[in-house]
Amino acid sequence: MLALPCGVYAAAGGASSSTQTASSSVASVGGSAYGSAPATAPTTTKTVTSSPTTTKTKTTTKAKALHLGDRVPLRRGMRGHDIKILQDFLNRVGMKISIDGTYGTGTYRAVRRFQKRAELTVNGVVQVDSINRLREVLDDGGFDLATVPASTAVDGTTPGPTATINPDGTATAPAGAPAGVLAIIAAGNEIATKPYKYGGGHGTFEDSGYDCSGSVSYALHGANLLTVARDSTGLESFGQAGPGQWVTIYGKSSHAYMVVAGLRFDTSGRSKGGTRWQADMRSSDGYVVRHPVGL
């Protein structure tokens, strides 16, 4: 059987592409109409005859998909096109969730994360203030990171606080690291010393071992940044282009790894130190460089 490069799987890649297509599809459908005035709902006239000589006219309103903001508040259990737009907006600011038009548990948690990051009342209920703030963040190209200390550069240097590697192979985040970084490191610690397994982490996040892209996907999933594992090629389109302030992901067809708060999280080199966390850097030549929105 022909061996494939690390982390390249049709099933995982397909699921990833499907998620991305759903997001871009919703964005294209909403477009400029997201902020436009709602269209007038069409009406249909139904004639009901009660007798040969008496005619009653009944007017009904046809249900139509809503634009985000047409109805508030939005909360768990609700469905509609406005929920799809909300989910698309949340995805575009880094809260990776499914776009299905149903305000379920995943959307509720993503809303709470956004509200906390945006310094709003954290209750999982979308009011006008949450919608307005979400639009502002999107218009600004993401959260303002000017006051966040930088920890990771594309060349692997660490101009800011750096995480440390513990004797047991786990890592400890530096003081002041944002919640997303804490979550990524905590998830990475769970599998830091697990063996390398070709295809590990794809199809299910809980596995006996993990390959390169499976390891990166697991850590990102721990911070609710991925719902489905991506292969190394799929990670080339994750998040936003370029290095991040705290997290930088490197992907190409044959391998993937990331740098988190100045530490490299990589299956390559694991056998030397017994852990995926490594202080030394590697050449990033030939890799596509990406980062999570806001990190």
**Is there a contact between 277 and 77 (Cβ–Cβ < 8 Å)?**
no
Lowest-pLDDT range of 24-38, 137-151, 174-188, 195-209: 24-38
pLDDT tier at 39, thresholds 50, 70, 90:
very low
Residues 184-197 have a mean pLDDT of: 95
Q: Indicate the domain borders of the chain.
A: 65-139, 145-291
Torsion sign over Cα 134, 140, 145, 150: positive
Structure-model confidence comparison of residues 106 and 137, the more confident one: 106
Closest residue by Cα to residue 281 from 256, 258, 264, 261 = 264
How far apart CA 251 and CA 287 sit, in angstroms, is 5
65-139: CATH class? mainly alpha
pLDDT tier at 3, thresholds 50, 70, 90:
very low
Q: Give the DSSP letter string of 171-195.
A: EEPPTT--HHHHHHHHHHHHHTTSP
**Is there a contact between 125 and 75 (Cβ–Cβ < 8 Å)?**
yes
> Containing H/E element for 257?
strand 255-260
Predicted local distance difference test score (pLDDT) of residue 109: 86
Predicted local distance difference test score (pLDDT) of residue 224: 94
Predicted local distance difference test score (pLDDT) of residue 180: 94
How far apart CA 14 and CA 41 sit, in angstroms, is 37
Domain 65-139 and domain 145-291 have a common topology:
no
CB count within 10 Å of CB 211 equals 27
User: What pLDDT digit, counting tens, does each position of 228-283 carry?
Assistant: 999 999 999 999 999 998 999 999 988 999 999 999 999 987 877 899 999 988 88
* Second-level CATH architecture of 145-291: Alpha-Beta Complex (3.90)
User: What pLDDT digit, counting tens, does each position of 88-100 carry?
Assistant: 888 888 777 889 9
